[in-house]
Amino acid sequence: FFTRVSTKVKHVYRNYLLPAAVFQGVIIGGGYATGREIIEFITINGPLGGLISCLTIALGFAIVLSLSFAFAKTFGTSNYRTFLTSLLGKGWVLYEILFILLLVLIIAIVSAAATDTAKSALSLPESYSFVIIFTLIVGCNYFGKILIQNLLAAWTFLLMISLLFYTVACLTQLDAGSFTDKSLYTNTIDSVSSGFKFAVYNSALVPVLIYCTTQIEGKKAAFKAGIFAGIMGAVPALLLHLAFVTRYPEVIEQGVPTFWLLRNSDFSQFEPLYLIILFGTIILTAVGLLHGVNERINGWLGEYNRHELGKKSQAAISATLVLISVLFSKIGIISLVAKGYGWIAWGFFFAFTLPLLIIGTSKLIKRSFLDAS
């Protein structure tokens, strides 16, 4: 009996829980920690419209991840390079360009969020915040993969637990009578459209985490795992939206709404803990993405039988990208999220999502017919 239970638990963990956790770890990042992306693409549509956006996001995630996981398992492309070249051919170059742009944008956003919050909460000058962020990001990339993986895994778990308590605490203060007819108005088209954009640019990061399909047991399990991971990826967005509607519409105008809501509620005693979680998440988001860049460079070097990047080279590349991102952060977090993500979402739609839906699906169908004959 215990052997059967143990086998079943391992099966569920490998096929469903692990891929879902990896996906959450990749997308949860600074946007979920600061809440600005949730405002811009979900809560801005109103209490009811935001729920429609969340449903759209869950559906979009589930479609992209299920097709991606099934494709990787069917064609044995469970690593970043082979997955992209098999799916996109020479189009992988366009994806890489967009990924670097997204990387710079994400680091710019999390840097702006960190400096804004540090200035508001601690009266810390922007230059001090930048030096701290820069040192920690570059330092983590210098020490390498094992440290980064362990930190990311532990911090993602901590963030999810904190987010759940945060949402429940906010909902206990909800006054349903504060909602007006205007605030409850729902534009379904706008709600679906913004949810679609959010789903597209986040799910376009799937190639970065495609390695998690290695341990999945078969094509059918991979398809189901993608659906489960997609739904779980939308859960943090739903939780934050439920928290934000308790102070709607004032929360819409806030650059770092999670911090603003905490400070303007009865939970100010948890402010130090929140700041630790926020800064840790922001730094580790940048660390994880920059490490991915170094890993891809090492992959290219390996193809040409050259030595991998040393610690100093990895730190130098990370430092350069952080400096570029900080220049973008001067634009301001609200403008960065509103304009940057909107444009890049359409770029990823044509460079990755559309080819996946058309080329990926057609290859999967063709392979199914071949296997059946």
Reported as a single tens digit per residue, the pLDDT across 331-361 is: 665 566 656 666 787 888 899 999 999 999 9
Cα–Cα distance, 208 to 26 (Å, whole number): 8
Query: Once rounded to an integer, what is the mean pLDDT over residues 220-249?
Result: 90
Cα–Cα distance, 152 to 184 (Å, whole number): 38
| Residue among 282, 218, 184 nearest 78 (CA) | 218
| Residue among 315, 60, 301, 310 nearest 193 (CA) | 60
Look at 164 and 134; give whichever has higher pLDDT: 164
pTM: 0.80
What angle in degrees, to the nearest 10, is found between the helix axes of 188-203 and 46-75?
30
Query: Once rounded to an integer, what is the mean pLDDT over residues 16-43?
Result: 78
Question: With bands split at pLDDT 50, 70 and 90, how would you rate the model's confidence at 320?
Answer: confident
CB 234 within 8 A of CB 61: yes
Look at 50 and 212; give whichever has higher pLDDT: 50
Question: With bands split at pLDDT 50, 70 and 90, how would you rate the model's confidence at 329?
Answer: low
| Residue among 286, 356, 366 nearest 324 (CA) | 286
